[in-house]
Every structure is written in C-alpha cells, then in structure tokens.
Amino acid sequence: MKNWKFLSLARLLSKACIFMLLALACFAACTGEDTGPPPAPPAPPTPTISVIVIIYNGSDVTQITLSGVQGGSLNFTASVEGINNPPQSVTWSLSGNFSTGTSLYSGVLTIAADEVGGTILRVTATSTADPSKSAWVDVEVIYAMIPEPWDED
C-alpha cells in the first residue's frame, strides 16, 4: 500500500511540474518576452497634388496674361494644392525672353529695360514633389513710357 501512495504522489508531482512548466511558458508568452521586434509604424499617407496656383497681388493668375513694363518687376507666389499636405516647394522657370537681362528668381520676374515690347514671357511653377504638375502665367511686355523732354521756350 505504501508503494501505491508513493506512486500516486510521484504521478501527482510530475503532473504538477508539467502544469507549472506550461503555466510559466504561457506567462512568458503573455508578458511579451521573446516576441521579436515590434512592428514597424505605418507609413505616412502619400501626398497627392491636384493643382498648382500662381498668385500675383493676392489673386489667382494661373493661365492668364498680365502686362509687365520694361524695366519693371512682378512678384509671383505659388500654392500647391492637394491631399495629405503636399510640399509647397516649386521650381520657377522663364521662357520667351529676348533680353538676357530679363530674369526669374524665386518667383520674382525682372523685365529688362531692353526687353522687346510685345514679347510674351511665360512664367512656369513646377512642383518639386511631382514634376508632372505645373502652372503658368504669361506676361506681355509693354513699352516703358519715356517722358518728353521739357522745353522751357
């Protein structure tokens, strides 16, 4: 009878040990130990550009023709519109000028005094994030009025 009690006790202890080992394994799994690296955070949403707007004196002047006087300047800004906060940076370019003195820098068009009157200058703003998106405005050069000399006779 003593052997039987010993065997029952041994079986009970071995089952208890197995149960404890399983419980410890479950506890380790539940506490996050040895679960590997955390998952990467989701990527931010990709901005999508729908349109670029060229602004002069607070007004949208995209795809219209303005007048600019020889020796004068016009200051343009660009607004890049779309979803997910698209970057506002643009590259400015100029075409149509005959005078090398006519220039465009950071949206400021400087028309040389010797630029040919009647010339159409095209100012283009192109998104740096999506070069397929751009807008333009044309500027027709008008002659500067030169006052007649005053004759005191």
pLDDT value of residue 117 = 93
Express each pLDDT in 115-126 by its tens digit: 999 999 999 999
Nearest C-alpha neighbor of 123 from the set 110, 138, 133: 138
pLDDT value of residue 144 = 83
**39 burial class (0-12, 13-18, 19+ CB within 10 angstroms)?**
exposed
Show the low-confidence residues of the chain (pLDDT under 70). 1-35, 146-148, 150-153
Dist. CA 24–CA 148, nearest whole Å:
102
Cα dihedral: 127, 128, 131, 133 (round 10): -10
Residue 28 DSSP symbol: H
pLDDT value of residue 12 = 53
Q: Is the pTM of this model over 0.75?
A: no
